[in-house]
């Protein structure tokens, strides 16, 4: 009997995103029922945007993003993300979010979701740029506005926190 395993970076990112989406739903449930229907779409948009910001940090024009991620200052990272289209605080409101950068992994996640009184820990992976990721490949992902493509190509591999 042979077993086929699908343990590709894309599949791992998809599983991680699904797990984090379910975690996100646990905090999103306090919001309006109509908004809850759009939760996956909204979550996927944030997921993609964070991935694109990480990819941009590896490009020459993203040095400010790279510096902030390496420094690890949560407020500075949130400000830079907001400037680049991913408003973390608005997304998780009324919860407070603290961003932690992990440079040793390819997948991030959400932790500590208990109540609006306690901060959520948003772990963002920030591994070195892969050698096979060209500036052109990264730029294509950074500027990808196709809503059906939420996961980056495997040659870019900037799977974010969410």
Q: Could you read off the pLDDT tens digit of each residue along the chain, which spans 162 residues?
A: 443 444 555 555 556 556 656 566 555 555 556 666 677 778 788 888 998 999 999 999 999 999 999 999 999 999 999 999 999 998 888 788 999 998 887 777 777 766 667 888 888 888 888 888 889 999 999 999 888 887 776 656 555 544
Residue 93 structure tokens: 């409101």
Q: Are 20 and 123 in contact (CB under 8 A)?
A: no
pTM: 0.75
Q: How many CB atoms lie within 10 A of CB 44?
A: 17
| pLDDT for residue 130 | 81
Helix (H) and strand (E) counts in the chain = 7, 3
What does the pLDDT read at residue 2?
A: 40
| Of 106, 48, 81, residue with least CA distance to 97 | 81
């Amino acid at each position: 009997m042979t077993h086929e395993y699908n343990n590709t970076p894309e599949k791992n990112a998809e599983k991680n995103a699904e797990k984090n989406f379910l975690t996100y739903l646990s905090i999103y449930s306090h919001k309006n029922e109509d908004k809850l229907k759009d939760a996956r779409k909204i979550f996927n948009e944030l997921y993609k945007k964070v991935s694109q910001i990480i990819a941009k940090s590896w490009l020459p024009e993203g040095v400010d993003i790279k510096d902030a991620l390496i420094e690890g200052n949560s407020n500075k990272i949130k400000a830079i993300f907001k400037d680049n289209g991913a408003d973390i605080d608005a997304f998780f409101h009324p919860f407070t979010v603290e961003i932690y950068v992990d440079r040793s992994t390819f997948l991030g996640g959400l932790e500590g979701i208990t109540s609006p009184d306690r901060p959520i820990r948003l772990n963002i992976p920030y591994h070195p740029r892969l050698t096979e990721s060209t500036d052109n490949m990264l730029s294509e992902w950074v500027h990808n506005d196709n809503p059906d493509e939420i996961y980056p190509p495997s040659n870019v591999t900037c799977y974010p926190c969410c």
